[in-house]
Amino acid sequence: MEKVLTAENINPRVHNMVYAVRGEVPLTAGKIAAKLANGDKSYPFDEILYCNIGNPQSVGQKPITYYRQVMAALDCPTVLDSNVLPPDVVVRARSLGSSIVGGTGAYTHSQGLISVRKEVARFCEQRDGHPCDPETLFLTNGASNAIAYLMTTMLGKPNHAVMIPKPQYPIYTALLSQLGAQPVFYELDEEAGWTVSATELKRAYAQASQEGLEIRAMVVINPGNPTGQCLDVPAMQTLARFCKEQRLVLMADEVYQENVYTDTKSFTSFKKVVRDLGSDFDGFELASFHSTSKGLIGECGRRGGYMELCGFDHDVFADIYKLASSNLCSNLDGQIMTALMVSPPHPGDASYPLFDQETRGIFESLKRKATKLVEGLKSIEGVSCQQAEGAMYVFPQISLSPAACQAAEDAGKSPDTFYCLSLLENTGICCVPGSGFGQKTGSWHLRATFLPPEEKMDDMITRFTKHHNDFSARYATAKSKL
């Protein structure tokens, strides 16, 4: 029977979409993992080391006890009424529970529970020193869901475009492709620590305008993904002013706000920067995104997150609401986890000592692993790597010889994909090729998380180094950066 739906006749915007985080290399890793599980001994490793995705608990990070206890107590009356949980957990669960009509099994308001939105608003106010209205918040199935609502609402024409950093997290290009709109890349300066300059913003904007694109928004990922840089306030002011001058919505992807590892830098939200700029920025359209998947909480499986919309037109807001309402609401455990993330236990609470120990342990470990992986990569000839100031990733640059690039071409792969597949098949280390995020023409990168367990880090670096040297020797012709 001839198929009704074929690759040729379905939505080309979906067919042509690319999403590398779960693309060819991770798919190959999954197949190898299945072989290993079936007793295949032909690989020189016995497990896949998944460094392709910021999924901390999948590689050994333990859930934070307090969060799970409150969630379980809310979901299950048997647990709440038992005596197995600390008293502050029970108080917190009863308090949250009393605000939820029908409990966690009921659909909520399409923006999410008002009680949780009030907690998020208090968190933002304490963080920023500026008011936050719970009515401007949407609780969503992770940040991706929120980004999709906003981009779907704002982008309606083939020449609609959004400025996004290069490299970027590929949800942005994936959504632009899906919506039939265009990316306008502004390049981050790798040698200067993945910074952005006003000159580059202007260049990108001018070129796109000349091509007839109508740029509606600019995405800033801070701390950067995959690049890890943490912006300082002057740089953020430059970005905000640029958006104001060019009449762009500023989309602030701030899901790594808790993941800053340098002692000399700290996270500042765009909300604070914009509000601190004063009344000139009244009514400025700013969207910011946060998630329960990153930070120290790492609750990816919850699919929790929120979006704050500042300065949006009433009718536009109503349309975003309508889009959210057609999905009814985000899942309740994600909503609950969002409340707990923004309002953890306090000193003096029964749960605080364990909570403090667990979160501090995760943070210090991430910090050590970030440093170790960057240093390890930098010590390899033909690999350079910027400091991982924040987030969960390194994005090293890999020198590939013309012979390696030719071999990749012969295999029908991009050189970085070819390299990552070789790395995977020889070491079990699963990374994502830089081309999935965007990279300067002629340079090759990969993204690796520094999430694997600390005790595996040294071995991982040793294996990576050996592979790189073997690969370089194998394809040793005129060895230069292409």
Positions in 284-323 near a copy of itself (CB under 8 A): 284-285, 293, 298-303, 311-313, 315-316, 319, 322-323
Out of 136, 141, 257, 387, name the contact with a copy of itself by CB under 8 A.
141
At closest approach, how far in Å is the CB of 93 from a copy of itself?
11
Nearer to a copy of itself, 73 or 374 (CB): 73
Out of 44, 58, 211, 481, name the contact with a copy of itself by CB under 8 A.
58
Out of 65, 238, 359, 384, name the contact with a copy of itself by CB under 8 A.
65
Nearer to a copy of itself, 89 or 424 (CB): 89
Q: Enumerate residues 2-21 that contact a copy of itself by CB under 8 A.
A: 2-7, 10-15, 17, 19, 21
Nearer to a copy of itself, 193 or 301 (CB): 301
Nearer to a copy of itself, 376 or 428 (CB): 428
Q: Which stretch binds a copy of itself (CB under 8 A): 99-107, 203-211, 357-365, 419-427?
A: 99-107
Nearer to a copy of itself, 220 or 248 (CB): 248
Q: Does 22 bind a copy of itself (CB under 8 A)?
A: yes
At closest approach, how far in Å is the CB of 451 from a copy of itself?
11
At closest approach, how far in Å is the CB of 222 from a copy of itself?
21
The site string for a copy of itself over 329-358 (x = CB under 8 A, - otherwise) reads xxxxxx------------------------
At closest approach, how far in Å is the CB of 142 from a copy of itself?
7
Nearer to a copy of itself, 44 or 158 (CB): 158
First-to-final CA distance of the chain: 48
At closest approach, how far in Å is the CB of 301 from a copy of itself?
4
Q: Does 162 bind a copy of itself (CB under 8 A)?
A: no
Please, which residues have CB within 8 angstroms of residue 38's CB and are 6 or more apart in sequence?
A: none
Out of 92, 117, 166, 216, name the contact with a copy of itself by CB under 8 A.
216
At closest approach, how far in Å is the CB of 337 from a copy of itself?
9
Q: Does 77 bind a copy of itself (CB under 8 A)?
A: yes
Nearer to a copy of itself, 220 or 383 (CB): 220
Q: Does 85 bind a copy of itself (CB under 8 A)?
A: yes
Nearer to a copy of itself, 141 or 269 (CB): 141
Query: What amino acid is encoded at 136 in this protein?
Result: T
The site string for a copy of itself over 103-122 (x = CB under 8 A, - otherwise) reads xxxxxxxx------------
Q: Does 102 bind a copy of itself (CB under 8 A)?
A: yes
Per rule CB under 8 A, count of chain residues that contact a copy of itself:
100
Q: Kind of pairing, strands 397-398 and 383-384? A: antiparallel
Q: Which stretch binds a copy of itself (CB under 8 A): 122-130, 141-149, 356-364, 391-399?
A: 141-149
Q: How far apart are CA 83 and CA 87, in angstroms?
A: 9
SS (HEC) of the chain: CCCCCCCCCCCHHHHCCCCHHHCHHHHHHHHHHHHHHCCCCCCCCCCCEECCCCCHHHHCCCCCHHHHHHHHHHHCHHHHCCCCCCHHHHHHHHHHHHCCCCHHHCCCCCCCCHHHHHHHHHHHHHHHCCCCCHHHEEEECHHHHHHHHHHHHHCCCCCEEEEEEECCCCHHHHHHHHHCCEEEEEECECCCCCECCHHHHHHHHHHHHHCCCEEEEEEEECCCCCCCCCCCHHHHHHHHHHHHHHCCEEEEECCCCCCECCCCCCCCCHHHHHHHCCHHHCCCCEEEEEECCCCCCCCHHHCCEEEEEECCCHHHHHHHHHHHHCCCCCCHHHHHHHHHHHCCCCCCCCCHHHHHHHHHHHHHHHHHHHHHHHHHHHCCCCEECCCCCECCEECCEECCCHHHHHHHHHCCCCHHHHHHHHHHHHHCEECEEHHHCCCCCCCCEEEEECCCCHHHHHHHHHHHHHHHHHHHHHCCCCCCCC
Q: For residues 139 and 291, is the Cβ–Cβ distance under 8 A?
A: no
Q: Does 145 bind a copy of itself (CB under 8 A)?
A: yes
Nearer to a copy of itself, 178 or 435 (CB): 178
